[in-house]
Amino acid sequence: MSAEKALPPLLTQYLRLPPEVSLSLVTSVLGASANWVLERYLIAALAGPSRHGEETEAGAGEDTRVVLVSWMSNWDSWRTEIRRTSGLDIAKLAQQHRFAFVDGLTGLLDSSNHRVPTKEEYSSGEIPIKQSPQSIRSPGTTPTVLNMSPIDPAPRKQGNLSPGPPELKQDSRSASIRRPVKLPAENGRYVLSSDSLISLENTTLRAKEFVTATQASSEDSKEPRVLLILDQPDLLLSTTQDPSKCFPALLSTITALSQLQYVQATVVGVGADPHLTAAATAELDREEAAIRAFSPLESHHSAFLMSLAHRARVVFQLRRLESGWASDVSGVLRVSPGGAWDSGDEEVASNEGVEGQEKEMLYCVKADGSVKVFERGAGGVG
């Protein structure tokens, strides 16, 4: 099957869903895009059951669903790209309630809504959901009460999480009418209406509901596992007017999302270009003067990136080849354990081996979208 072929053998061990709730970080630089890694994560999760149809041990054959939130490309480009590389049709998977897509880009800069919620407003839940009630209570999804994961006993915004129609304020109703694209929610496609984090959280929640909705009706007792992919949420930092408010709130939103029920793993793609990490480098060297010289966006982006790296179990770092351009090498991929790789000793004995081992490899993205990943010096063979 071509979906299987799309996964580079060297990477499969890293793309497997981890045994527990965790976060993975994929960093990219200009010229070494992270898109293909996120795609491979998606393909590995969605192609799972057909590949491991027989061997269901170790959770490999379990039902995995994907929620993709993308701030970089829209539905069409993801659909074309994934079909090209793996033969999987995400539209068909969305019909089967196995895939949901949240478009963060299309409605992001809707001029009717430029206000950024502050942290206080955010935590007190003052901001209403900027979606029409119809789309929230779609006929296809069963309105079940949402459960936060047991780790989070006191979820904030309890009111907003309830599936009933939220109270809409005057301005937000007009915002929802002016949404550029209006899609019925049953097809698993959602559009973020603004850059507000509340709408991000709620829309992602509904997308997650959508992919886990079939669970209630199906008779097997196996819990669905959801892979949440966030493609470049750092765009929000640069589009909001007040990044200092946005960055901690965005982090806590990501934390809340990755702790939702059934969400097994979260993959976040973030840019790590030199100017975006420079503030962290200066911080590390304690160059007091240099730290102060950075613009808010620079320092907040690097704080966002480094905070995510500290939360991540594994960090994929993509970069260009140091020696310059080459026709058969697109870049270097380094897989390193992140700050949270070591979350407990229980699984150490079983996992001490391949998984999470640091590794540096070269990769080549070909014109047809396929990717070859190989060790240094092993290229040019095929």
Partner 1 sequence: MAPAQLQHRRTHNLLLIKKLLDCRDNASPFTLVIDSLAQGARHLLREVIVRGKKSKTRTIYLSFETLKIPTGVDVSVPAHSLDVQGLQRELSRHLKDPQQRSILIFDSLNIFLHYPSVSPELPSILSSLISPSTSLVAVYHSDVPVPHDATSYSPSSLTLLKYLATTIITTHSLTHVLAAKQARQRSLAEPVFGLAEEKEGIIVGLGSNDRRGTVIEMEYRRKSGRAVHELFFLPRRRSKATDSLQGKGAFIENIMLLDDHPRYKVAGAEGFDLTSPGAGEGEGIDSTFNLGLTERQRRDREGVVLPYFDAQNEGGVGEGGRILYEMGVEDDFDEEEDEI
Which positions from 230 through 269 interact with partner 1, judged by CB under 8 A?
244, 247-248, 251-252, 255-256, 258-259
- Alpha-carbon distance values, 279 to 131, 282, 334 (Å): 37, 5, 22
Q: Does the footprint of partner 1 cover residue 325 (CB under 8 A)?
A: no
Of 77-116, which residues contact partner 1 (CB under 8 A)? Answer: none
Q: State the minimum distance, in angstroms, from the CB of residue 143 to partner 1.
A: 24
The CB-of-284 to partner 1 minimum distance in angstroms stands at 5
> Which x/- pattern over 284-323 shows residues binding partner 1 (rule: CB under 8 A)?
xxx-x--xx-x----xx-xx-xxx-xxx---x-xxxx-x-
Q: Which is nearer to partner 1, 27 or 215 (CB)?
A: 27
What distance in Å separates the CA atoms of residue 35 and residue 330, rounded to the nearest whole number? 13
Any contact of residue 27 with partner 1 (CB under 8 A)? yes
Q: Which of 208, 204, 313 is nearest to 253 (CA)?
A: 204
Residues contacting partner 1: total by CB under 8 A:
75
**Using CB under 8 A, which of 167, 223, 328, 342 touches partner 1?**
342
Q: Is residue 274 within the footprint of partner 1 (CB under 8 A)?
A: yes
**Interface with partner 1 includes 277 (CB under 8 A)?**
yes
DSSP 46-103: HSHHHHTSS--GGGTTS-EEEEEEESSS-HHHHHHHHHHHH---HHHHHHTTSEEEEE
Nearest to 193 by CA among 207, 208, 185, 182: 182
* 349 sits near partner 1 (criterion: CB under 8 A): yes
The Cα angle at residue 23 between residues 211 and 231, in degrees rounded to 5? 65
3-state helix, strand, coil split of the chain in percent (to 5) is 40, 15, 45
CB of 266 to partner 1, least distance (A): 9
Measured distance CA(79)–CA(39) in Å, rounded: 11
**The one segment of 72-80, 220-228, 234-242, 274-282 that binds partner 1 by CB under 8 A:** 274-282
Minimum gap (Å) between residue 29 Cβ and partner 1: 4
Does the protein bind partner 1 through residue 167 (CB under 8 A)?
Answer: no
**Helices 274-285, 296-311: inter-axial angle, 10-degree rounding:** 80
Shortest Cβ 323–partner 1 spacing (Å): 13
